[in-house]
Structure 1
Amino acid sequence: MPMASLNLLPHPLPFSSSSSSCSFSKGFVPCCNIHVVNPKSTLQHMGSLKPTLVVKSSVGVADNISSFTGGATSYSISSLKFKLLSIVSGLNRGLAANEDDLRKAEAAAKELEDAAGLVDLSVDIDKLQGRWKLIYSSAFSSRNLGGSRPGPSTGRLLPISLGQVFQRIDIFNKDFDNIVELQLGTPWPLPPFGAIATLAHKFELIGSSKIKIVYNKTTVKTIGSLSQLPPLEVPRLPDGLRPPSNSGEFEVTYVDSDTRVTRGDRGELRIFVIA
């Protein structure tokens, strides 16, 4: 009795001719366009089959990956960081900022923060280590050296000009020093002289991205023509007489190996670069 022959291998499914080749280029990452091919029209004898997914590769820039991963790429984050630094670079640390400058800096910082996502210093605390240079503070637009807090005016009544501002952070000893360079005017014929004020704090991490600092002491060291004078430690006020701003908090909203963005407890936007 003759036996029926069984062909268990179906005929190959038809593929789009454009799916037969993939092109790659250095510096680009291929992204995928998905085409659905319904085999019913050519394989009627095989009965009802589910549509087959055919993946076609095409060349696209790195930003296209975000449509598949749901997040920003390192390329787009770098572009947003460059945009923010470009906006604030000519504002004299914020002292020359007007309302329009403040809005542009705020919008650019928000774009970078949203693209990079939340900061987790519980695993990246080492990124805080080092000496950081302040390149922008939104609070300096108030034209005083205390920002949104009380501070000496930078106007003509008090001849003080603000130099560079740094933060020195030691994650091992929990030291957090704000270092301010000042140029002080003197009556003629005395030459002007400069000073460096170091406001020493201790810090602790609160949650994943918030830093609390507690004031310890202030040391002033003259520079320039009076640099031979020894450092002067400003006497510490008794606990009952200390102002409520003895401590403060701020949130680190973006940080990498060379740039840091923070939001102060009074709304200050501050931008630092590694020094």
Structure 2
Amino acid sequence: MASVIQCTVPLFSNSQSSPSSAYSTCDVPCLHFNSPSHKNLDFQVFPKRVLFYPKKRSICKSGLDEVSAVEPPPTPKLDDKSKAELIGSLKIKLLSTVSGLNKGLAATEDDLQKADVIAKEIEEAGGPVDLSVDLDKLQGRWKLIYSSAFSSRTLGGSRPGPPTGRLLPITLGQVFQRIDILSKDFDNIVELELGAPWPIPPVEVTATLAHKFELTGTSSVKIVFEKTTVKTTGNLSQIPPLEIPQLPDALRPSTNRGSGDFDVTYLDSDIRITRGDRGELRVFVIS
């Protein structure tokens, strides 16, 4: 039967460690003998397996059955007040970064990276979004203030769409999303100004792209296109709205069916951040 003796146990494998820091002495049951083939090495055989972890300031606990290392204390988490203050300052930083980019149409590559970095900080601070619990926060009319996809200088973003500033200028006005969680309506509302040859004044229209939405995950949303309605505004507001018929399925481009998926990566009572199925970062504020 093995007796309880004092054993010198290596804690670190780093050959540069000093003898005092690389070894710890514990009273544990073990067998000690010298190897005849290695005169300078001492071998110790433990009746039970002993595990040591090379962590800083580990404390060796000894007993008859086991030897273990005490983990360092975890990093303290922010309390609710500190977390809210952090998110509030990051939201102000994000809004000030994208406010002068004309919803992303004027964004440079550097602007895109800055907005993405701040958005990720907000997403990390806010934690995962669970729409099964916070679905009511989607309700309302949201104003788009930034889309990374608009840096492509087309209204379709990363999808095919009409260009801006060409032979037939199209000026993008306000963009909204109107969401009704009861009827599952999800409407993209776009204000446009269509240029015309002089002396004809520009035509102002509002296009409503109607969708239905469904949740496909705790933070994932799928929208399915239904129809597009165009209504003139300004001097021609008396003209009734016009519903644009859909092309037959055989003629409709497979990459531009008006449907898509996106993840809600941050959501509270006044701001929403989403990331689309093609990597688009979008920032909305409640209106």
Same fold by TM-score greater than 0.5? yes
Deviation at 1:222, TM superposition (A): 0.4
RMSD: 1.5
Give the superposition deviation at 1:70. 5.4
Count of matched residue pairs: 210
Equivalent residues of 2:178, 2:186 under 8 A apart? yes
Q: Structure 1 residue 226: deviation in Å?
A: 1.1
Identity of aligned pairs, percent? Answer: 72
What is the CA distance between 1:228 and its match in structure 2?
0.9
Contact 1:132-1:168 within 8 A present in 2 as well: yes
8 Å CA contact retained: 2:171, 2:192: yes
Indicate conservation of the 8 Å contact 2:139/2:180, yes or no: yes
**Aligned partners of 2:229, 2:177: CA distance in 1, in Å?**
14
Task: Give ranges in structure 2 of 5+ residues lacking alignment.
Answer: 1-73
The answer to whether structure 1 residue 68 and structure 2 residue 76 are counterparts is: yes
Partner AA of 2:115 in structure 1: A
The reply on whether 1:274 has 2:286 as its aligned counterpart is: yes
Question: Which letter does structure 1 place at the counterpart of 2:265?
Answer: T
Amino acid across the alignment from 2:76: F
- Corresponding letter in the other structure for 1:254: Y
- Aligned mate of 1:192, from 176, 187, 202: 202
1:259 counterpart = 2:259? no
For residues 251 and 259 of structure 1, the distance between their equivalents in structure 2, rounded to whole angstroms, comes to 14
Q: Following superposition of structure 1 onto structure 2, how do residues 31-50 of structure 1 map, counting pairs within 5 Å?
A: none
Q: Which whole-Å CA distance do the structure 1 matches of 2:267 and 2:180 have between them? A: 16
Q: Which residue of 1 aligns with 2:168?
A: 158
**Where does structure 1 lack aligned partners over 5 or more consecutive residues?**
1-65
How much does 1:75 deviate? 0.9
In structure 2, distance between residues paired with 1:147 and 1:98: 14
Check the 8 A contact 1:248/1:265 in 2, yes or no. Answer: yes
1:130 aligned residue? 140
1:162 is displaced (CA, Å) by 0.4
In structure 2, the partner of 1:168 is 178
CA contact (8 A) 1:217 1:234 kept: yes
**In 2, Cα distance between the equivalents of 1:118 and 1:162?**
33
Return 122-131 or 242-251, whichever deviates more.
242-251
Separation in 2, partners of 1:67, 1:194: 56
Paired residue for 1:48? Answer: none
Confirm or deny: 8 A CA contact 2:141 2:176 kept in the other structure: yes
TM-score normalised per structure 1: 0.74
TM superposition shift of 1:187: 1.6
**Equivalence map 1:81-100=2 (5 Å):** 81-100=91-110
Question: Whole-Å Cα distance in 2 between the matches of residues 264 and 140 of structure 1?
Answer: 13
Say whether the 8 Å CA contact 1:165–1:180 is kept in structure 2. Answer: yes
Structure 2 counterpart SS, 1:126 = helix
- The aligned amino acid for 2:89 is S
SS in 2 for 1:86: helix
Once residues 204 and 197 of structure 1 are traced to their aligned partners in structure 2, the CA distance between those partners, rounded to angstroms, is 22
Write 1 or 2 for the structure with the bigger share of helix. Answer: 1
The whole-number CA distance in structure 2 between the counterparts of 1:238 and 1:122 is 36
User: CA 1:97–1:177 in 2, change beyond 3 Å: closer, same or farther?
Assistant: same
Task: Letter of the 2:190 partner, please give it.
Answer: V
| Alignment of 1:182 onto 2:192 | yes
Contact 1:80 1:112 (C-alpha < 8 Å) held by counterparts: yes
When Rg is computed on C-alpha atoms for both structures, the one with the higher figure is 2
Aligned pair partner of 1:231 in 233, 241, 244: 241
Query: Does residue 250 of the first structure (1) align with residue 262 of the second (2)?
Result: yes
Instruction: Output one character per residue of 1:82-113: Cα deviation in whole Å (capped at 9) or x when no partner.
Output: 11111111111001111111110010001110
Kindly indicate whether the alpha-carbon contact (under 8 Å) linking 2:168 and 2:196 is maintained by their aligned counterparts in 1.
no
* Alignment equivalent of 1:201, drawn from 208, 211, 216: 211
**Structure 1 stretch 229-238 or stretch 168-177: which is displaced more?**
229-238
Tell me if structure 2 keeps the 8 A contact 1:152–1:158.
no
1:67 positional shift: 5.4
